[in-house]
Copies of this chain bind each other. A is one copy, B any other.
Amino acid sequence: MLSDHSDIESLRQANETFYEAFGSLDIDKMDAICEISGRALCIHPGWRPLSGWDQIRVSWQGIFENASLMHFNIQYLAIDTDGDCGWVTCVENITSVLQGRANNFGVIATNVFCRSDSGWKLVVHHASPNI
């Protein structure tokens, strides 16, 4: 199935909404863009994989509590859809202040989204250091 142009654009917007939630360190915004389900899966760079929304949510809360600034400049490598599923691979160019220390670093992420009645929801977030 070929991707519909409007699907690609709505998926790009969903991916940007995810990074807005991440950058605003706001767990309520993260709740809104993520799929709240047992199949949700998250791999933060260098972490062991987290399965199911409950432990993923705890990880976001921990990251947000330790960060005072998180700014994303997203470089898209791939963005595509197939029916009600879509995926984005992107480089996250990050400026952060974590535990009082400023950092600039890059992360490569593959984000898998599924469409729900309220739009695209992030199901899988696989992030790894951009070496």
Contact = CB atoms under 8 A, between A and B. Distances in A.
Interface in A79-94: 80, 82-85, 87, 89, 91
Contact size range, A: 20 to 34
B80 A82 contact: no
14 contacts: A39-B78, A39-B80, A41-B78, A43-B110, A46-B131, A49-B77, A49-B89, A80-B123, A83-B85, A85-B87, A87-B124, A108-B126, A112-B112, A126-B126
Oligomeric state, in number of copies?
Answer: 2
Contact of A128 (B39, B87, B123, B128): B128
Nearest to A43: B108
B39 A51 contact: no
A121 to B, nearest CB: 11
Contacts of A114: 82
The 6 A-B residue pairs with the shortest CB-CB distance in the complex, in nearest-first order: A128-B128, A85-B85, A83-B83, A110-B126, A82-B85, A41-B78
Contacts of A91: 49
A1 B39 CA distance: 13
A83 B81 CA distance: 11
